[in-house]
Amino acid sequence: MKRFCFWTGLGMSLIIGWCGIGFAELPEVLPQQGTAGEIIELEDVVVTATKVEQRISALPVSALVVTRDEMEKKARVSFVDEALKYEAGVVQKRPKLADVMSGKITLRGFSGGQRTLVLLDGMPTNNAYSGGTDENNLPIGNIERIEVVKGPFSSLYGGEAMGGVINVITKTPQKENFEVKTLVSEHNTYCHLLNYGNKVGKMSFAINLEKKTSEGDRTDLVTKSVTSGGTAMTKVTGWTKTMDNKGSSTYLIGDTGKNYWDQNQYGYKFVYCLNPVSNLSFSYKGNNREYGYNDPQSYLLDGGGKPVSSGTIELLGEGTMTISPTNFLNTWGRLKDNVYGLVYDTLSGEIALKGRLNLIDSNDFSVTPQTGADYYGGPGKLSRTSPRDTFFGEVQVDIPLMQNNLVTAGMSCRNDSVRIKEWMVSNWKDESSTGTGNSTEMGGKVRTIAFYTQGEVQLADTLKLFMGARYDIWENYDASTNSTRYADKKRAFFSPKAGICYKPEFEKGLYRLDNIRASLGKAFRPPTIYELYRTTKIVTKTYVSNPELSPETTQSWEIGIDQHLGRISLSATYFQSRIDDLIYGKWVTGTYSVKENAGCGQIAGFEVEGKMKIAAWLDAFVNYTLQDTEITSNPADLNTVGKDFEYVPEKMSNLGLSFHKNALDASCTWHWAKKMYAASNNIDVVEGVYGAYDAVDTVDMKIGYAFKENMRLSLAVDNLLDKEYYQYYKATGRTISVEVRWKY
């Protein structure tokens, strides 16, 4: 493994800062020109890092904030993950709009959405079945800001917070406001938004409606190999010889159609001021969506020029293959969820008390066509998840001790319930059609109780110490499949963390050293219900669950520095993580895999980022992330040892300019990420083919103009240079979007 030296990374960032190349301070706030020419900084305040309000410069960890205004000026942002696309250390991949599976955010080199915790107004949204969050379900229209803190945070938040925490925070109106927005894009894509908020007396309220629809692009391709040397009566043309991502020859013969998307989101939030120091809020978010594929195509043509989608065919000079209409069909499904939140906060003297109750009520189904199906109907397999519920409750108290010292303590309780049933249906286009054959059923529950505490101690005027820990106890219970009932299992984990922030107040000429920060801690990810109890069979291969799995764990540390050189703000952070008990599938035979805690790995890297105010009307930013990952041990699959983590690019960079003067604003951003691997043994080395995860090298642009005080028209172009690349699917090419917004 390539070893990174902290002093090399830190020294490099210092040199870059002195040379005047604009690398950013972590706060998402730029210096602003004052009336007398001085630099004025408006610093962001975050709550996610310590569960109490803190200035970013006072934190011992890496943190950033993306505000509503910044989201408006980026290229098209239709989903939460797109708002974080250009941030250092954030891996975001969404090759197409209607992306059910891969629209995930990961942090700090940790692979998979189940190792990054996502919150909605402080409520955990990662589900117990997969461990991840479906970012498609999070509202985008009523977001006030998105806070991101990087590194291990199980000391405050428990499981999944291995790479960091993302907190989506919605608006609480302080005055009347109204917003209508419509976005029109290619492939008959429409995104409509309606927001209304007001404060009447002691009551603040907000109502949000969103509608996203798209005809979709043909991004899901159909490839198939041939049997060489044979002949067939039907000779076809129209195919293209290509390769799979491992270099084996294959043939592109069609696509599964236009990937459509139809989503409705709606919600409201009420905040009532009981007295000057107490508030009670209630919120609701609803979400309904359907996705699928229309108009599949076979590219194969017979001698008369007619499409061929079934039978044994011959590709002249290559060989034969047998195809059926099912080869050109794909899954469709629907999802519905309801999220309820009740929060109470008050002050008793100087002691702050906060309590919350949250409920997520979710259910979904998907239907996959089976052998014998065609576009109009035929057999299918229905998978229905109902319920997939989460109940979450928490109580927290913040106690100030002497001057500038604070103790935070809390307790949380969470209960998750999942049940999945699968059976055959007679018509795959109708989920309610008569079932055939025996059904399979699997389900389980998880109950978690946790206690946490954190202390902030002002050791000196320029030095603050943070120390905290959390103890999680969770029980998997009431788990069963058709023929098996599993024994209840109880486990526990202790997650300590410590950090220090030093503000040296050193200034010499144009140079200012703002702060030096460091932290270390432990984090964990409990095995999911899927990993514990769900055994699946795909074609001839069987993937077996394991109810004896233990949690994955990590020990991580970071050290960073923030500084200024005139109008240039500079930040550099070096980080390392060691991961134990990674869950992998051990192949007992060529067709039989069992999940085990078999893997160990490590991550080392650094982030350098910065911003510069070139003029009062022109800003620039640049960031660079290096995250070197390696599987260091894995008895379940020795071929993975020494290989990179899956779905983690080793290097990423973003460079952007933004212009804002009078009624006109514009931005242009270059985004680059190195190729990543989907196979744990890294044998998927071929790029530019279906199934590959290519390097990404794109330029996005957005121009906006305010015709009146309340009216704004903008034009966004994603992938301006129309680069062709694959992120498993073929990524959408140049996409033009027009947006009209009216608000007061």
Using one digit for the tens of pLDDT, what is the confidence trace for 386-405?
889 999 999 999 999 988 89
User: Is a pLDDT exceeding 50 seen at residue 20?
Assistant: no
Number of CB atoms found within 10 A of residue 274's CB: 11
Whether 34 shows a pLDDT value over 60: the answer reads no
- Hey, how many other C-beta atoms are within 10 angstroms of the C-beta on 384? 18
User: Tokens for 534?
Assistant: 């769900």
Of 735 and 94, the structure prediction assigns the larger pLDDT to 735
Q: How confident is the model at residue 384 (pLDDT cuts 50, 70, 90)?
A: very high
Q: Helix, strand or coil for residue 531?
A: helix
Is residue 111 pLDDT above 70, yes or no? yes
How much is the average pLDDT of 291-317?
94
Interstrand relation of 406-425 and 380-400 (parallel, antiparallel or unpaired): antiparallel
- Looking at residue 76, its amino acid is R
Give me the chain's average pLDDT, please. 90
Contact (Cβ atoms closer than 8 angstroms) between residue 388 and residue 364:
yes
Phi, psi of 216 (to 5 degrees): 90, 160
Residues 581-606 have a mean pLDDT of 92
Secondary structure (DSSP) of 310-343:
SEEEEETTTEEEEE-GGGG---EEEEEEEEEEEE
Residue 21 scores a pLDDT above 60: no
pTM, to two decimals:
0.92
Q: Which two tokens stand for residue 133?
A: 């969050």
Using the CB atoms, write b or e for 193-214: b if 16+ within 10 Å.
bbbbbebeeeebbbebbbebbb
Phi, psi of 128 (to 5 degrees): -75, -15
Higher per-residue pLDDT: 75 or 228: 228
Q: Using the predicted structure, report yes or no on whether residue 232 has a pLDDT greater than 80.
A: yes
Provide the 10 A C-beta neighbour count for residue 99.
22
- For 37-62, what is each residue's pLDDT tens digit? 344 445 678 899 999 988 998 999 99
Evaluate the CA torsion angle 647, 653, 659, 660 in order and state its sign.
positive
CA distance 655 to 645: 26
**Measured distance CA(537)–CA(535) in Å, rounded:** 7
**pLDDT tens profile 528-548:** 999 999 988 877 888 999 999
How many other C-beta atoms are found inside a 10 Å radius of the C-beta of residue 312? 14
Residue (of 254, 265, 197, 249) closest to 220 by Cα position? 254
- Specify the pLDDT at position 437: 67
Whether pLDDT at 436 is above 90: no
pLDDT tens-digit readout, 648-677: 999 999 999 999 999 999 999 999 999 999
pLDDT > 60? residue 27: no
350-380 confidence digits (pLDDT tens):
999 999 999 999 999 999 999 999 999 999 9
Q: How far apart are CA 110 and CA 470, in angstroms?
A: 21
Report the C-alpha gap between 448 and 492 in whole angstroms.
Answer: 9
Confidence category of residue 103, pLDDT binned at 50, 70, 90:
low
28 vs 311, which has greater pLDDT?
A: 311
Question: In the chain, where are the structural domains located?
Answer: 6-220+256-295+329-743, 221-255+296-328
Q: Which CATH class is domain 6-220+256-295+329-743?
A: mainly beta
